[in-house]
Structure 1
Amino acid sequence: MNNRKLGKWVGGFTSLALLAGLLAACGGNGKEATPSASSPAAGGNASPSASAPADPTQLSGTVKVWDWDEAFQNGMIAEFNKKYPNIKVEVTVVNPNDYLQKLQSGIASGSDVPDVILGESAYRGKLFDLDVLDNLESAPYNFDKSTVLDYVVPYVSNSEGKVIAVDQTLTPAGFAFRRDLAKEYWGTDDPAELESLLSSWDDFIAKGKELKEKSGGKVLMFPGLGDAYIALRGQNFVSYVNGSDVDLTTKLQAPLQKLFEMRDAGILGKNELWTPAWSASMAKGEFMFYPMAPWGAKWHISANDPEGSGRWGLVKAPEGGFTRGGTAIGIYKDSKVKEAAWAFIEFAYLSDEGSAYNFQTFGNMTSSKSFYETQQALIDAPGPYDEFFGGQNLAKYFIEKIVPDMQGESQSKYDSVVDGVFNALYPLWTKDASITADAALEKFKTEFKNKASDATVK
């Protein structure tokens, strides 16, 4: 593949043919000269950090990490210590729901703060606003943000545009779907054919009505309004926060209009996200689709439908990709072991060897461009949940079909407020069909203002 095409990929995976070429392990840096094998642009094992020690055994220290995924850390630390034998990584398991409060308490007391800090999507904007994470583009890290996918950069940057974290795993999302139901009611379970049937949200609604009619109302498109909202809002990548000015109309008006159109068409269930009924529905075959990022194959679909191997598939959403969850990994600005902490983060989430272990063991997909340029064999090989999804190569589908549509979106402390207001309001929208999309938006603005009195809302 020529260097000009690689430049387009660096700009955001702009063509499917280009991606196919990338998976053929090509490299370049936007110039006619071919880069050396050790350069990040060539896809070698060079670290994104210019300050990585020549001899990893010379780096030592004890790095404290707070995480909720103990299995990941235990496995990754063992791999990390093969290269960095003199760095000890201590993990404290913290519930993600308690993480930010525990962190703030530790910072206030100055007694208990980890070196490596995680920011789950529900509170990432709030964490960034605390100004406790170090700028990874400065010394001693010297992180080069051009080594990761361009769309990821806004998700790991603060309000000043400084990169203060790396992504734990890519979270482009499509829809997990029930192959058995698609085959029964639409005559196909082929993702490519479903893409054609569901190319727009209008098509989606029409097929939803057909599904409801053919199944006698036994099968609907989504478990509830929450699932549809995740996709609709997630596809609107527009930044809606400028300082304390919050433009909810630009962000939410179109998604809510389409959401209420789905509700009124009768193609959505009445389940609320994360409830036992919502989880149980995956095994019951009551709904066709569930929003799913790469991590969802493990944590949602297979976990809630353990006997469902082979009856699931993955298809992109109508009109484009969206993000689903995600966790940022940063370094406490007052850490005493910054070099060791960065060595762990760089190895676990960015290096080719750490990314390969992460991908093969957990199905997690790194944001590092190098991995996708050099690891064609891993991408082509069956992943840990491909068989569960009817033999579909999930990684290739995410990379080739969904990632090209992804865009970056600035993070804000108000994001969690928006999510909280939606979660409080949408059960009422489910129950009361007289509420219109316009009325819902106005109520949304009012409730947001009540929870964020410092904001100017429009």
Structure 2
Amino acid sequence: MIKRVICVLIAAFMFIGLVACGSNSSENTDESSVQPSAQPTEKPELKPAEMKGEISFWHFNKDEGPKIVEAFNKVYPNIKVNLTIVPDKDQNYINKITAAIRSGSGVPDVFSGESAFVRKLVEMEGAYADISDRVKPLQDDIVKYTLEVGTDVNGKIKALSHQITAGGLAYKKPVAKKYLGTDDPEKIAEMLSTPEKCIETAKTLKEKSGGKVSLFPVWEEPYKMFLGSRATGWVKDNKLVIDPKMSDFIDYAKQLNETGGEAGLQQWNPPWAAAIGDDETAMCWAVPTWGVPWIVGSNDKKAADGGRWGLVKAPLEYFWGGTWYGIYAKSEKQDLAWEFIKWFTTDKDHLREWSKSTGDIPSSLSLLEEGSKSSDVDKIMGINLYKFYVPFVNNINGGIFTQYDSAIEQVYTDTMRSYLAGKLNSKEDFLKQFKETVKTNLKDIEVN
């Protein structure tokens, strides 16, 4: 009897189980009862004014830094940018940011890098974050050499620039007219079309002015042209490389100095700046894109009226300067930091306005094409600057930048000053001292 009851109960439980399973199977095949996926959905993209937060930003340029933040906050009013200006006099900026990175303390979310030392930051471990994936959707519109400079040896993009810095040769029209008999850009361009012709023109200018006016204010003007037109950077395969252009320049600077082709000033010193505004010292200055407003415009108050300056192709195609921006690798605010950099270096509406207000020429390929077709004329030079500078961009070799540039170029210019002052007797003495100093200062590269 007990066994029969147990069997009945077991049979009942089995029947209930089958009914339950059948019920679940029926529910799973009913499409109207399927629940939505539990996978997270993407958040809707926020508009600039809706983004909120706070980032820190270091810059070495007291004029540019505040303008960047001001422009950014007009579009992103709720992202607070704490700006710190660290002037780069005597390498103060690069030394301070390097010390902060190595200590891991006090590093800003975003920090700038000037052309002379940006590669040091790009290659430095723990400095800039890898932004390759963020840049990928944008890079087809970015000038190639600016990307090359901001990319490390492993192919990771670490920094972006908002500008191109192709170079030209600016000349004073009144000086050219008075002593060379013409201020016509085509004729002046021919007189300055090669380094050798520059020497001949320098001799003529010196003679016609009674020994008063030099072609260049200082040898550092053509130095920028030789430096920016090299085929190879200062260091390759961890070895010091002296590109033929830099070897040639030792002879060229000596010849220029001996013929009175340079006035013996020093770049960026007050006498050099003052000479830009007078017609009694020199005729030509090396002027990259940013140099029209910053070198000529800011130092020659009469330049803004037009008619005083002309701009011609330099005897050697070159570039000079530029600023890049990257995100600190350990920043906890990388999304906001990226928004800041992306907007400043790639937003077309912003770049268009920035170009009009500052004179910078943007690193956007589409804007370069747009600007070249524009009827806008620069007041100082009297020409369309896009149309003048853009043809040189494709020939700029971003691969010549190295992390050692600032240190090596300081040694080179110091050695050149000694050479021209008569403290070194020959080119061989120059090269010997240059190599020995580089070897002493930079222990991690091989010097032969």
Q: Which residue of 1 aligns with 2:415?
A: 425
Q: Which residue of 1 aligns with 2:128?
A: 133
1:209·1:267 contact (CA, 8 Å) conserved in 2? yes
Q: 1:278 aligns with which of 269, 272, 278?
A: 272
1:347·1:353 contact (CA, 8 Å) conserved in 2? no
> What is the CA-CA distance between 1:192 and the residue it aligns to?
2.5
Q: Which residue of 2 aligns with 1:218?
A: 212
2:112·2:326 contact (CA, 8 Å) conserved in 1? yes
Note the 1:15-30 alignment, pairs <5 A. Answer: none
Q: 2:388 aligns with which of 393, 397, 410?
A: 397
1:246·1:457 contact (CA, 8 Å) conserved in 2? yes
Q: Which residue of 2 aligns with 1:147?
A: 141
2:418·2:424 contact (CA, 8 Å) conserved in 1? no
Cα pair distance change 1:227/1:52, threshold 3 Å: farther
**1:306 and 2:301 aligned:** yes
Q: 2:339 aligns with which of 332, 336, 343?
A: 343
**1:165 and 2:155 aligned:** no
1:226·1:426 contact (CA, 8 Å) conserved in 2? no
| Offset from partner CA, 1:17-50 (integer Å, 9 cap, x none) | xxxxxxxxxxxxxxxxxxxxxxxxxxxxxxxxxx
Is the partner of 1:90 in helix, strand or coil? Answer: strand
Q: Which residue of 1 aligns with 2:288?
A: 293
Pick which of 111-120 and 391-400 moved more: 391-400
Cα pair distance change 1:316/1:217, threshold 3 Å: same
1:248·1:457 contact (CA, 8 Å) conserved in 2? no
**1:90 and 2:85 aligned:** no
Higher relative contact order (CA 8 A, sep 6+): 1
Q: Which residue of 1 aligns with 2:379?
A: 387
Q: 1:66 aligns with which of 23, 40, 58?
A: 58
Cα pair distance change 1:358/1:249, threshold 3 Å: closer
Cα pair distance change 1:173/1:249, threshold 3 Å: closer
In 1, distance between residues paired with 2:50 and 2:135? 17
Is the partner of 1:428 in helix, strand or coil? Answer: helix
In 2, distance between residues paired with 1:452 and 1:365? 35
> What is the CA-CA distance between 1:54 and the residue it aligns to?
6.3
| Offset from partner CA, 1:297-344 (integer Å, 9 cap, x none) | 2222222222344312222211x3212121111111111221221222
Q: Which residue of 1 aligns with 2:358?
A: 362
In 2, distance between residues paired with 1:376 and 1:53? 34
| Offset from partner CA, 1:142-188 (integer Å, 9 cap, x none) | 45433211232322222223221111421111122111111112222
In 2, distance between residues paired with 1:141 and 1:88? 23
Letter in 2 for 1:198: L
In 2, distance between residues paired with 1:135 and 1:211? 52
Cα pair distance change 1:326/1:124, threshold 3 Å: same
| Offset from partner CA, 1:349-380 (integer Å, 9 cap, x none) | 21111101110110111111121234567x43
In 2, distance between residues paired with 1:270 and 1:443? 22
In 2, distance between residues paired with 1:301 and 1:394? 14
1:302·1:388 contact (CA, 8 Å) conserved in 2? yes
Q: 2:327 aligns with which of 327, 331, 342?
A: 331
2:226·2:245 contact (CA, 8 Å) conserved in 1? no
Aligned length: 400
TM-score under structure 1 length normalisation: 0.80
In 1, distance between residues paired with 2:179 and 2:65? 43
1:169·1:364 contact (CA, 8 Å) conserved in 2? yes
In 2, distance between residues paired with 1:55 and 1:234? 41
> What is the CA-CA distance between 1:74 and the residue it aligns to?
4.1
In 2, distance between residues paired with 1:444 and 1:348? 39
In 2, distance between residues paired with 1:457 and 1:161? 26
2:62·2:85 contact (CA, 8 Å) conserved in 1? yes
In 1, distance between residues paired with 2:59 and 2:179? 43
Letter in 1 for 2:445: A
Cα pair distance change 1:433/1:103, threshold 3 Å: closer
| Offset from partner CA, 1:49-84 (integer Å, 9 cap, x none) | xx9946445543212111244554444444434543
In 2, distance between residues paired with 1:88 and 1:218? 54
> What is the CA-CA distance between 1:275 and the residue it aligns to?
2.1
Letter in 1 for 2:155: G
Q: Which residue of 1 aligns with 2:312?
A: 315
> What is the CA-CA distance between 1:220 and the residue it aligns to?
1.0
Note the 1:37-76 alignment, pairs <5 A. Answer: 53=45, 55-76=47-68
In 1, distance between residues paired with 2:400 and 2:295? 27
In 1, distance between residues paired with 2:278 and 2:355? 30
> What is the CA-CA distance between 1:104 and the residue it aligns to?
2.5
Cα pair distance change 1:62/1:237, threshold 3 Å: farther
Letter in 2 for 1:399: V
The structure with the larger Rg is 2
Cα pair distance change 1:141/1:395, threshold 3 Å: closer
Q: Which residue of 1 aligns with 2:426?
A: 436
| Offset from partner CA, 1:85-105 (integer Å, 9 cap, x none) | 432222122212322222133
Q: 1:112 aligns with which of 106, 128, 132?
A: 106
| Offset from partner CA, 1:409-433 (integer Å, 9 cap, x none) | 3432221122111232222222229
**Cα RMSD for the two superposed structures:** 2.5
2:351·2:362 contact (CA, 8 Å) conserved in 1? yes
In 2, distance between residues paired with 1:363 and 1:317? 20
Q: Percent identity?
A: 29
| Offset from partner CA, 1:115-136 (integer Å, 9 cap, x none) | 1111112322322232310122
Cα pair distance change 1:136/1:263, threshold 3 Å: same
Q: 2:197 aligns with which of 203, 208, 227?
A: 203
Letter in 2 for 1:115: D
